[in-house]
Chains A and B, each alone.
Chain A
Amino acid sequence: MNLDTFIMNGYGLYVWSSYAFTLFNFFILYKVTSNQFIKEKAKFAQKYKSLNSDQVILAQKQPTNRTFVKTVAHKI
C-alpha cells in the first residue's frame, strides 16, 4: 500500500468518504440496536426477578421466555 492507494488518481476523497459514510452508518445502527437490546434485556431481567414462584412457573410455560431467561440469567 502506498500514497496512490489513498489518492486514487484524485478520486480518493470521494471514494474514502463514501466508504467512511457507509461504515459510520453501520456502526451507529449496530450501536443503537445493541443498546436497545441491552436495555430491553435489563428490563426483562428486572421484571422476571420481581415475579413470585407461581408467576415464574406460568412465565416458564412460554418457550420464548425460557430462552430470554437463559440470556439474562446472570442478572436474575
Chain B
Amino acid sequence: MLSIITEKTKKILISSKFRNLIFILFIIFLSVGLFEALILSPQDYLQSDSVRIMYVHVPSAWISLGIFSMMAFLSLGVLIFKNKNFVLISKSLAPSGFIFNLIALVTGSIWGKPTWGTWWAWDPRITSMLVLFLFYLLYLLSWKLFEKKKAVKISSYITIIGVINVPIIKYSVDWWATLHQPSSINILSESTIHSSMLIPLFLMTAAFALFSVLIFLMKYNVELIKVKNKGLNRI
C-alpha cells in the first residue's frame, strides 16, 4: 500500500505538467501580489511606505521556518524508517528554505534601518533567525563534505537538533524584550492586521509558497535523475 502511494506521489512529483501548472500559478499570484503590495495596499500610519517590506520579509520568514520543520519531520522518518525517498525530499527542500531564510534576514535588515535606525541588532528574533540560517548552511554543507551514507545521518541530525530553534524563533517575541512586535496574525484568535494589508500578505505568501514548491519539484527531479543515472551505470 505504502509503495503504491509512494509510486503515485513520485509520478506527480516528476510530472512536467504539474511543474508547469505550479509555474503558471506562481506567476499569477506573484503579479497580483506585487501589484497589491506595492500599489494598492495602504501606508502604515507609523512606518509609512516602509511597511511594504513586510510583504516580502514575513512570507520569506514563514516559509523558511515551515520548510525547516518539514525537513526535520522527514529526517526523523529517515532515521526511523530508513526511507530513501524522505532523504531526497528533504534534500530537495533545503535550497529554497535556505534562500528564503537569507531573504528574510536581508530584507529584515533593510527594513530595520528606517524603522529602528540600524541595519542589525542582536535581537532575540533576528539572532534566532541567524541561527536557523547557520543550520541550513550546515545541512547543505554536510552533503558537500561527507560521502552519501554519512551525509544522510549527519544532515538528519542537523535538522532534528535545529528544529528546536523553530519554537524559539516563534515565541522569542513573547519570551524576551525584543525590537519585533508580537505576532499580528493568530490562527486561534482574530488578527490585529487590517484586511487591506492582510490580502497582499497572503497573496505574496501564496506566491512564495508556490515558488518553493516549484524549486522543490525541480530539485527533486535533479536528485532523482542522479539516482537513476547511477542505476543505469549498474545495468
Contact = CB atoms under 8 A, between A and B. Distances in A.
Interface of A: 1, 5, 8-12, 14-15, 17-19, 21-22, 25-26, 29-30, 33-34, 36-37, 40-41, 43-44, 47-48, 51, 55, 58-59, 62-65, 67-68, 71
B91 interface: no
Interface of B: 7, 10-11, 14-16, 34, 38-39, 43, 48-50, 52-53, 56-57, 60, 95-96, 99, 102-103, 106-107, 110-111, 113-114, 211, 214-215, 218-219, 221-222, 224-226, 228-229, 231-233, 235
Contacts of B52: 8, 11, 15
B110 A33 contact: no
Nearest to B233: A47
B30 to A, nearest CB: 9
Contact of B218 (A1, A34, A47, A71): A34
Given A26-B211, A44-B225, A18 B99 contact: no
Contact of A64 (B10, B49, B103): B10
**9 nearest A-B pairs in the assembled complex, by CB-CB distance:** A8-B49, A11-B50, A18-B107, A40-B225, A11-B49, A47-B232, A33-B218, A22-B56, A18-B53
Given A5-B38, A64-B228, A68-B225, 15 more contacts: A9-B43, A11-B49, A14-B111, A18-B53, A18-B111, A21-B107, A22-B103, A29-B215, A30-B214, A33-B215, A33-B219, A40-B222, A41-B225, A65-B231, A65-B232
A43 B43 CA distance: 52
B57 A18 contact: yes
B97 to A, nearest CB: 11
15 contacts: A8-B49, A11-B50, A18-B53, A18-B56, A18-B111, A21-B103, A21-B110, A25-B102, A33-B95, A37-B225, A40-B229, A55-B235, A65-B231, A67-B14, A68-B228
Contacts of B215: 29-30, 33
A37 B110 contact: no
Contacts of B14: 64, 67-68
Contacts of A1: 39
Given A15-B49, A21-B107, A29-B99, A37 B232 contact: no
Contacts of A68: 14, 225, 228
A24 B49 CA distance: 21
A63 B235 contact: no
B231 A62 contact: yes
B49 A12 contact: yes
